Structure 1
Amino acid sequence: MNLEDLPPINRRKALIGLAAIVAAPHVLLNPDRAEASLSIRNSLSPRNPRRSRRRGTDYIILHTTEADRGSLGKLRKYGEANYLVNKDGSIDRVIEHGRLATHCGRSMWDGKRNIDNHSIGIEVMGFHNKDITSAQYRALRDLIQELQGMYRLSDQDVMTHSMVAYGSPNKYHAYNHRGRKKCGMLFARPEVRSRLGLSSKVTRDPDVDAGRLRIADALLATVLYGADHGKVEAALDIYRGEPIITKDRSAWFIAREKHNDPETEYLFPDGTRLRGDQIRDWGGLPDGTRIVMEDQERSERFIGFQEIGKDGDTAWSLAGKEYDDESTIYFFPDGRVRRGSVLDEEVLSHPPIGTRVLTGYVYGGNVHSDRSAFSITGKRWNDPSTFYIKNGTVVSGDDVKQSEIADGTTIVFRK
């Protein structure tokens, strides 16, 4: 591989690594040779050739699949990781290390959004609250070290999905918030990182410190950044519990953004079964209700609409502090589509019943014969975080062909 084939490296890291490049040029100039020293199977996603080169590589993000088996098929189908580390220590390459994999979804770190564009994603077969196998420790350690050498990344640049993921306002949290994902949180624990050859980690959340996000799950923050071993263990004990609602474990605590998903099922103590999209009184869920979720979900998923009269009665109840923001989009029953930033307080206070609300996206408008998807979004037209809406159907840019986008299709893309 030639140097120009590599993803861009920012000036600071290039300068820092200059001496090392001179001393050992093969590490940077021939990264495939270094990667080849590991036992990695080529299990490339059919989406791999269509995925663009990343804008830069500033981080390695560690994930857990939240399943014991069957993860490779899903990861290949959607191109949701660069690598998968299996229970036996074998490694599958899903998306080439220099190409974009959709593993982080809505994410931010130090003010930088959409971390997929800036990171390598490694999925580890297993769960966020259970230890991995000895074979996985060995394989993951070696893979991390190889990638750190290729991209000049420090130990602090190796983070967890739970550190960078964030959520839009919802009925539980009125602000953009940290705590959307528990994924990979065990890789923040010092004893786990030590076994992976990582001697340090980030100790604070820069986006919370700067006021860009608020903490929605203090227990998760304790696990990720806490220095008190006793408090960390106490938090972990709560996470090891069953997915059952108690006074300390709400539907959101257990299911996060999937709490109102139609594929999430609630089994009530009296035997009643309801889907997440059938529940209206979230505060009235009885203790002892068990939540059953699909083991795995698509990382870059459309968050979906909330509806006035169904999910809440006011704009604030659905979008929280972001109710009048330009990234909150209102789809009115009469067909009008407006950003929250252009609506007056009267409309926002009493939106018509049936108004659908979408938070955390940029409204691109509609496609017409003289206004193509590319003219609206530029190179993002086929990005996995760009969505096309037509007659109630939502399609990701990752799944669309530009020639097949019909006139009148609405485009939104993640902020």
Structure 2
Amino acid sequence: MAPVIRPVQTALDPPAQTSVVVIGGGIVGLSTALTLAERGISVVVLEKGHLAGEQSSRNLGWVRKTGRHIADLPLSVESDRLWAEMPERVGADVGYRKAGIMYVARSEAEMAKHETWIGSDGGRALDSRLLSADEIDRQVPGGAERWFGGIHTPSDGRAEPTLASSAIAAAAIAKGAVIVEQCAVRRLVTSAGRVSGVMTERGEIRCEHVLLAGGIWSRRFLGNHGVDLPTLPLVASVLRTAAMEGPTETAVGAADFSFRKRLDGGYTITQRGALFAPLMLDHLLIGHRYLPVLKAEWKNVRLAFGRDFLRDLSMSRRWKGDARSPMEHVRTMDPPVNDGLNAEAMTNLCRAWPVFKQAEIRQSWAGMIDVTPDSNPVISPVAKLPGLTLASGFSGHGFGTAPAAGQLAADLITGDTPIVDPKPYRLDRL
């Protein structure tokens, strides 16, 4: 069962014209819409299902700088700042707490990665520091495992995925944005060699610019326009507990589990070291481009061939504006929970911190993540389609970096000075 987000009163029908159309009502698209609305730019967000119905409400809620790729670190730093300002900006509690993030290591090899990162230019600029086993025991008491060491960034934080997108959406609406749910965009409309609108299931909307923030759907949407966006799906399974007394407010990640305190007093838990990959046609078409990242970061991906392949194969890859699109056939991507991975997470966690043996599991869910070959997102104009900007491929990091990613997308659309250097996020790097 998917997490339930706080409801938002959205518009029933889209207008015939606007300045910017945002395709996708996830947290990145909504953050972009809020930024544009704050600048007095008319913007319409079109969501095929319901707001934050996919990965934006199903992620872990970490707001993390620790361990980021150096090129991606400035975006994380800016997002951290914007998350801290978010409650005042949107007039609501989004669950943001600067409670820190800690990674613990079982071996010298694991610890060496943290040492390398903290010795980099980016790592040295933060408040991150290496921890001894004794320091871990003091900060996260009650442990039964003797760790080799760890790394801790006190300024990292967390927020609540079931609250944040709704609050951002409501604030954007209050500032003039129009958000329409259950309205899929079928394709782009072009005139004089550039994007001039979108064709939706309810008709055409004219606009000057389009932002595609469609998450796992962006590759299929762009493919229909002859643009290649290399992303592959990975599925993460998650569970949450009832309110309980836990060992720390700090989020903790090990090689084979992670946990973080929730606003409701429970914990969100996952098997951090393993993801599930339901094989689809795209794995066969572009999977070879992922070999480096598989060796470096995604070493424990569980593969399976079955009904997902057939379902994916049955969905169209080419369609016209007057034809029903794949996004109308599947309003919400709702992958099944991998109970085996969740069981592994709980077993590993209880072995490390036995207090979690008392945990009462209240809910489990799964979410599909769109991963690029280098695990960094694409936030970029699309050269083949002037007037289109892309913000997708966040590789599981979209929630934490969404405020700055949305501002960067808005900057690219309006021509304002970018909040960070956009070069690392260009589409043509892939």
The TM-score, its normalising length taken from structure 1, stands at: 0.28
Q: Which has the higher contact order (CA 8 A, sep 6+)?
A: 2
Higher radius of gyration, 1 or 2: 1
Q: Greater share of strand residues, 1 or 2? A: 2
TM-score when normalising by structure 2: 0.27
